[in-house]
Amino acid sequence: MANRKHIRPKSLLVLLALVILPILAACGTVDSAQTTINPQSDVAREIQGTYAFIFWVSVVVFVVVEGALVYAVFRYRRRPNSGMPKQTEGNMVLEVTWTIIPALILVAIAVPTWITIFRTDDIPAGSYIINVTGHQWWWEVEYPDVGLVTANEIRVPSDRTIGFHLETEDVLHSFWVPALFGKIDLVPGRTNTVWFTPDVETEGQMFLGQCVEFCGLSHANMRMRIFVDSPDDFAAWTAGLQSPAPEPSGVAATGHELFSSKGCTVCHSINGAYDAAGLFPAPNLTGFGSRVTLAGAIMENNATNLTAWLDNPEEIKPGNIMYKEAEAYKNPDLALTDADIGALVAYLQTLQ
Ligand SMILES: [Cu+2]
């Protein structure tokens, strides 16, 4: 008896807090705003409504079932001298009831779910269309109305309903910005669609998203951002990308030349400067200097990170196609020196 350890209620509480607090801490900060429970568009709110409905139905089911269980355990517990309890075999009314009620609950859940799924599928007429193509491990983003192509960062005007046409160039991917719309798979050979209308308050805000279908080694490094711009900011952004980049000078001019002599143009286009040979799909770098992120939106686009990326893309993003296929990393004659990388960084940053 002397050795028997008592677990005090207090230490149980501490243990519980240790488990729960980190989980709570992981939710709710701005940086981790990849959440469906803070919907910021019509479609996301409809999905959240379906979720909330199912949640509250589940709460009622839980309380009723657990309540009945706890009641039965206490009310009919074994007492001294109680002997063998009365034996019951089958109860038609009870069994029919507990079959019909769950069936009705399932129908009540299925109908709003179906309605929501089909409604979020068909892009409303008059929407602003953006084509998105999934690649291992980045997103190609095309604005067909202005003939622009960019990557990973999707700017949208705040005053329009946005419709996405989704395709994949290689394997399955899945497109999801939880605060704005539901998950849609990108399936080889198909064009899937999703749409949303941003809330008025989202103007000027950024939303996080990422690929949610396992698509290979760097799947976790395939992220994206949606920026909801005011109509004026959006027009200025498209106009900026359509106007030719300034003539590079100094070290940036060296970078401009290296961009073709080191074989970058085998894959990357820069409008007004280089048309890619198109041997491998790669992000269009037009306006790259004004992008906030780099390499599948996994890190901030600044000189330090860009230098690290060009120095060793494999270390930053395991398995990426640039490291695997670019001559600058395969062919020692074309390897990039520190000075080359400095010049390329300077050039890429001039692309506004
Ligand atoms: Cu993916």
What tens-digit pLDDT sequence spans the chain (352 residues)? Answer: 445 555 566 776 777 777 776 565 555 445 447 888 889 999 999 999 999 999 999 999 999 999 999 999 999 888 888 888 888 898 999 999 999 999 999 999 999 899 988 888 889 999 999 999 999 999 999 999 999 999 999 999 999 999 999 999 999 999 999 999 999 999 999 999 999 999 999 999 999 999 999 999 999 999 999 999 999 999 999 999 988 878 888 999 999 999 999 999 999 999 888 888 788 999 999 999 999 999 999 999 999 999 999 999 999 999 999 999 999 999 999 999 999 999 999 999 999 8
Q: How far is the CA of 246 from the centre of ligand 1 (A)?
A: 34
Position 32 scores a pLDDT of 46
Ligand 1 centre to CA of 213 (Å) is: 6
Name which of 208, 213, 91 is nearest 152 in CA terms: 208
Listed residues: CB within 5 A of ion ligand 1: 173, 211, 215, 222
Q: What is the pLDDT of residue 2?
A: 47
Q: What spacing in Å lies between the alpha carbon of 170 and ligand 1's midpoint?
A: 9
Q: Where are the domains of the chain?
A: 251-350
d(CA 322, CA 326): 5
Cα–Cα distance for residue pair 208/33, rounded to 1 Å: 7
SS3 14: helix
Q: How far is CA 143 from CA 32, 165, 247, 314, in A?
A: 28, 11, 25, 30
Contact 194, 116 (CB under 8 A): no
- What is the model's pLDDT at position 268? 93
Q: Homologous superfamily of 251-350 in CATH?
A: Cupredoxins -  blue copper proteins (2.60.40.420)
Residues 243/334, Cβ–Cβ less than 8 Å:
no
Residue 150 alpha carbon to ligand 1 centre in Å: 17
> Angle 211-214-220 (CA atoms, 0-180°, nearest 5)?
55
Centre of ligand 1 from the C-alpha of residue 305, in Å: 22
Q: Are 215 and 238 in contact (CB under 8 A)?
A: no
- Give the span between the Cα atoms of 200 and 132, in whole angstroms: 24
> Would you state the pLDDT for residue 26?
54
pLDDT at 73: 94
Ligand 1 center–CA 23 separation, angstroms: 26
Distance CA 51, CA 66 (A): 22
Distance 214 CA to ligand 1 centre (A): 6
Give the Å distance between the CA of 34 and the centre of ligand 1.
17
pLDDT attached to residue 27: 52
Whole-number pLDDT of residue 188: 96
Using alpha carbons, select from 76, 227, 220 the residue that is nearest to residue 150.
Answer: 227
For 58, residues 6+ apart whose C-beta sits below 8 A from its C-beta are none
pTM of the model: 0.85
Q: How far is the CA of 189 from the centre of ligand 1 (A)?
A: 16
Quickly count: other Cβ atoms within 10 Å of residue 227's Cβ.
18
Distance 169 CA to ligand 1 centre (A): 11
> What pLDDT, on a 0 to 100 scale, did the predictor assign at position 1?
43
